Chains A and B, each alone.
Chain A
């Protein structure tokens, strides 16, 4: 034993990047250790953090398992599946609102606001609370501050949904170094590249979204050939289907409509989810529900269940066919299929995938964890720790601008490898015109109104000149996160042209900025308190160990000077023990650690050594 403690206090070294799967139903955080990607458990030992957020009457946020209980006790202060609302407007979610108990604030503009108790919060702010919880779990586990992350998103997420996810990261105090598509992340986790070069399909059916991606693997390069999906199709839809049936059943049996009753609906939802999950391994089960002294019990066979959900499963197959067509490979050329997402546990889903791809799908990795593990691998790539792998992803939707008559002029085609860019020349239509407005849309349809409005970009302060004389070159660049960046340049002067962005369904820079300040201040406070607490715990341990060592024979072998140094260092540590400065406490721990080096080395008494061994910190 060379040291009493092996803590690297000078660890202002390279920051660790974590990988986060921000899911509709559950979220996870993972990191790369020397042997590979690992999921980080929470303090409660749980690896999945339910994506449920509750605001207590005292204004604190509760996240995860604790919030699940509040979903039933305080449904008006609790929200789940908020991922479904990320980057979306009020118009988009009308259908959702009939099935989810979201309480939309009346003044929701182009960004939805949810009413949680007395506060109104946007989906990125709520997701930020989930991220903050994961960040804390990672910090507690790793014993260091975590500020950089890779976050996964559904491959079929549009620009606004991606931006909203990035905003959530920033609000939570995380620098989002990369957004990585969930199916691609999964393929990284599987390490399929080690087995062979070939073509792989990833079928990702999660809680709220469906993605399909087809990749070519060659010597560590993961090249996505095509991707497709549906950002509104997931296990939630199956739950809603069962829920509706159960509600109708109950209405008929009891003569009571429970659908408006938040708490009852939440309990019933849990009951149908349990039944759904059981049917993945049982031939039949019961939906059981009790409410105000009455009980409801209905048998559900797997056969009937499969009949009920056949339509939902079928809806995943069309995107698969389109993806195969776009990828330029035939079904026969696809060597392997990987299943991701909790909904792929359903036997019918597995059979459907097997039939379509004519291949037995991979299910070795836990479908709930594989995306987070992949995010950690991508974090390792960014940190330079994983050198042989590289992901080449694509943009899922075509990007275009609205031209005369509302027709879309496509600039970047779907399934283009990212980063990618397109340049367009713009001019003025009227003499002396100072501004030009560019409407950017995403989608495959010919008319702008049928596509997804992404943003309006305004070229400002154009030098006044005759109509048609201005030459402004606008560059549309989709970065490796799948997010659009627009820049403009006056072609004649070469000078940068100012562009103002008005996102159609997103927060402005200023809004995000304001949200960050609020939560970071609190988070920093929390972090500091925790650091102090942890430093004191470490101090306790080393003080106890030193105390014990004083009684050993080794103590007598030290020189007077050495003993004095240890006593001095001990006193110094005791002096700062109650300060609020964790750096200072750690510094003194380090000094005592240094002073006891010789003592540790000379301790040969095995009993004492064992006692000290027990105090070694990781």
Chain B
């Protein structure tokens, strides 16, 4: 993507600051771009944090108190982008959802309420046990706990699969991989919600 020339000195530059006059530029609305990183699904969270701190020092509005109103505005936008980007990119699920959206996938919340067919029976049993527990039947607790562990293990398994698919996409950039990731994310979201709900009921009925 071609960047417009520097607003202050009208020279060509790349990055957030003009290489000639050091003026802060209007940031591009992209988390990877503000971090100066390639769009990759696997990333080192430690390195991301270090980069976040480094860029915060440069972009935070505190650094622009005595600069021009335009630069103050750019600093506000750039650091807001940086903060949101850090929040999203450090979380693998949110990161994947962000990349899917950037790559033109629709990642609506649809399908999260529908039970994946292969889980139908197990979910039905879990719901029965949950109802019993809610009614005060402490004997259902064992069954609920067992189900929670099973679903949590399923979620861990999905996370491992996702990790592999992340690497695969980073290497080959194939749309089919993203398609697979999207399917897995939907399934993960369903299971994750289930585990959270079970945990809530379990603590409430304690």
A: which residues have CB within 8 A of B?
177-178, 218-219, 221, 223, 378, 381-384, 390-392, 416-421, 477, 479-480
Q: 25 interchain pairs (CB within 8 A)?
A: A177-B65, A178-B65, A221-B53, A378-B62, A382-B62, A382-B65, A384-B66, A390-B62, A391-B62, A416-B83, A417-B83, A417-B86, A418-B80, A418-B83, A419-B76, A419-B83, A420-B80, A420-B83, A420-B84, A421-B80, A421-B84, A479-B61, A480-B62, A480-B76, A480-B79
Which of A378, A381, A384, A419 makes the CB contact (< 8 A) with B79?
A419
List 12 additional contacts besides A477-B80, A480-B79; criterion CB under 8 Å: A177-B65, A178-B62, A218-B53, A219-B53, A382-B65, A390-B60, A392-B56, A417-B86, A419-B80, A421-B80, A477-B76, A480-B76
A residues less than 8 Å from B62 (CB atoms): 178, 378, 381-382, 390-391, 480
Q: Find chain A residues with CB under 8 A from B53 CB.
A: 218-219, 221, 223
Q: Which one of A384, A390, A420 contacts B57 once the chains associate, using CB atoms below 8 Å?
A: A390
Find out whether the CB atom of B60 lies under 8 angstroms from the CB atom of A392. yes
Q: Which residues of B lie under 8 Å from residue A392 when comparing CB positions?
A: 56, 60, 83
Nearest neighbor of B61 in chain A, beta-carbon distance: A480
Question: B87 near A: Cβ within 8 Å?
Answer: yes
Q: How many A-B residue pairs have CB under 8 A?
A: 53
Contact of A417 (CB < 8 Å), options: B57, B61, B76, B87: B87
Considering the chains assembled together, what is the distance between the CA atoms of A479 and B76 in angstroms?
Answer: 7
Q: Could you tell me which residues of chain B, from 65 to 105, have a CB within 8 Å of some CB in chain A? A: 65-66, 76-77, 79-80, 83-84, 86-87
Q: A419–B56 contact, CB under 8 A?
A: no
A420–B57 Cα distance when bound, in Å, is: 16
In the assembly, what is the distance between CA of A384 and CA of B86, in Å? 26
A179 to B65, CA, bound (A): 13
Give CA–CA (A218, B77) in the complex, Å. 24
Q: Sort A-B residue pairs by CB-CB distance and give the 7 closest, nearest first.
A: A417-B83, A419-B80, A382-B65, A421-B80, A480-B61, A221-B53, A420-B83
**B56 in complex: contacting residue of A221, A382, A420, CB < 8 Å:** A221
Q: Which residue of A lies closest to B50 (CB)?
A: A218
Main SS at interface, chain B: helix
Please report the C-alpha to C-alpha distance between residue A477 and residue B61 in the assembled complex, in whole angstroms: 13
Chain B interface residue count, CB cutoff 8 Å, equals: 16
Partner of A416, one of B56, B57, B76, B87: B87
Interfacial residues, chain B to chain A (CB-CB below 8 A): 53, 56-57, 60-62, 65-66, 76-77, 79-80, 83-84, 86-87
Across-interface contacts of A477 in B (CB, < 8 A):
76, 80
For the complex, what is the distance from the CA of A39 to the CA of B175, rounded to whole Å? 62
Q: How near does chain A come to B120, taking the closest CB pair, in angstroms? A: 29
Q: Once bound together, how far apart are the Cα atoms of A378 and B61, in whole Å?
A: 12
List A contacts of B76 (CB < 8 A): 419, 477, 479-480
Q: Which B residues lie within 8 Å of A221 (CB)?
A: 53, 56-57
Chain B CB within 10 A, most for which of A392, A416, A419: A419
A420 to B76, CA, bound (A): 8
Q: Which residue of chain B has its CB nearest to the CB of A384?
A: B66
A480 and B87: CB pair below 8 A? no
Task: Please name the residue on chain B nearest to A216 by beta carbon.
Answer: B49
B73–chain A nearest beta-carbon distance, Å: 10
Given the complex of chains A and B, what is the CA–CA distance between A82 and B198 in angstroms?
46
Measured between C-beta atoms, what is the minimum distance from B113 to chain A in Å?
Answer: 17
Closest B residue by C-beta to A422: B84
Chain A hits for B61, CB < 8 A: 419, 479-480
Give the shortest distance, in Å, between B151 (CB) and chain A (any CB). Answer: 22
Cβ distance B128 to chain A, nearest Cβ, rounded Å: 27
Residue of B nearest to A421 (CB): B80
- Best-surrounded residue of B60, B62, B83, B84 (most CB of chain A within 10 A): B62
Question: Across the interface, which residues of B come within 8 angstroms of A391, CB to CB?
Answer: 62
A-chain residues with CB within 8 Å of residue B77 when the two chains form the complex: 421
Smallest CB gap from A481: residue in B: B61
Task: Tell me the smallest distance from the CB of A386 to a CB of chain B, in Å.
Answer: 10
Alpha-carbon gap, A477 to B56, bound state (A): 17
CA separation between A383 and B64, bound complex, in Å? 9
A480 to B63, CA, bound (A): 12
A158 and B134 alpha carbons, distance in the complex (Å): 37
Chain A, residue nearest B59 (CB): A419
Closest Cβ of chain B to A563, distance in Å, is 46
A418 to B60, CA, bound (A): 9
